[in-house]
Amino acid sequence: MTFKLFIQAILKFALGVVLVGALIFLPAGTLAFAGGWLLMGILFIPMFIAGIVMMIFNPSLLASRLDAKEKEKEQSVVVKLSGLMFIFGFVLAGLDFRFGTLKLPFAVNIAAAVVFLLAYVLYAEVLRENTYLSRSIKVVDGQKVISTGLYGIVRHPMYFATLLLFMSIPFVLGSLISFIVFLAYPVIISKRIKNEEEVLTRELEGYEEYKKKVKYRMLPFIW
């Protein structure tokens, strides 16, 4: 662990809290938005704990997760589209709460929060299995194909976890309008996966054989 990595992690975490909070609560026009606080809690508390664990036990993994610079031009477009999805989704959820367009029972928020946390556990397991994971698509020296555990079921279990995470967010916020915006995510992530597999097939030894062994990308028996 280095002091520079520690500062970088803390600053990005703090920026994320402020940015997401602003996108949710400013459009809502109030801090009395229970769904907003629920999301902030289940999103950032586990994130903070995971960051501390990685910082102590696997700082190289933390560094790779903080590196969001994309070398692939196609992935830069994907990242920008994802960012726009989150911005519009959060803002619309706040406006939906302010104007009461369509109220959902708070039990829906809680159920969605449970799904979100289960997906977080799945995401953590993927990080444990594959220490090569990075936020940007690249192949590093010494990288090997991971084919055990969840990677023996689908080739991209991390994206399956993020699918559950992100598609549950609008319901944590109690907004069907926001959910319509987040329906863009499966399309966005499929584009990212296809490009990522092109890179891995080209640059990572053994990945072509792995694709033949594990047929499904993200959803067993579907895709």
d(CA 199, CA 196): 5
Determine which of 103-107, 125-129, 162-166 has the lowest per-residue pLDDT on average. 125-129
Average pLDDT, the chain: 86
For the chain, the three-class secondary structure string (H helix, E strand, C coil) is CCHHHHHHHHHHHHHHHHHHHHHHHHHHCCCCCHHHHHHHHHHHHHHHHHHHHHHHHCHHHHHHHHCCCCCCHHHHHHHHHHHHHHHHHHHHHHHHHHHCCCCCCHHHHHHHHHHHHHHHHHHHHHHHHCCCCCCCCCCCCCCCCCCCHHHHCCCCHHHHHHHHHHHHHHHHCCCHHHHHHHCHHHHHHHHHHHHHHHHHHHHCCCHHHHHHHCCCCCCCCCC
**Is the pLDDT confidence value at 138 over 60?**
no
Task: Answer whether 218's CB lies under 8 Å from 163's CB.
Answer: yes
Model pLDDT for residues 36-59, shown as the tens digit of each residue: 999 999 999 988 888 888 787 777
**Is the pLDDT confidence value at 139 over 60?**
yes
Most confident of the following: 43-57, 63-77, 164-178, 197-211: 164-178
Q: Name all domains of the chain by residue range, CATH numbers in brackets.
A: 3-213 (1.20.120.1630)
- The reported pLDDT for the residue numbered 65 is 65
In percent, how much of the chain has pLDDT > 70? 88
Q: What is the mean pLDDT of residues 100-118?
A: 91
Full-model pTM = 0.84
Q: What is the mean pLDDT of residues 196-216?
A: 87
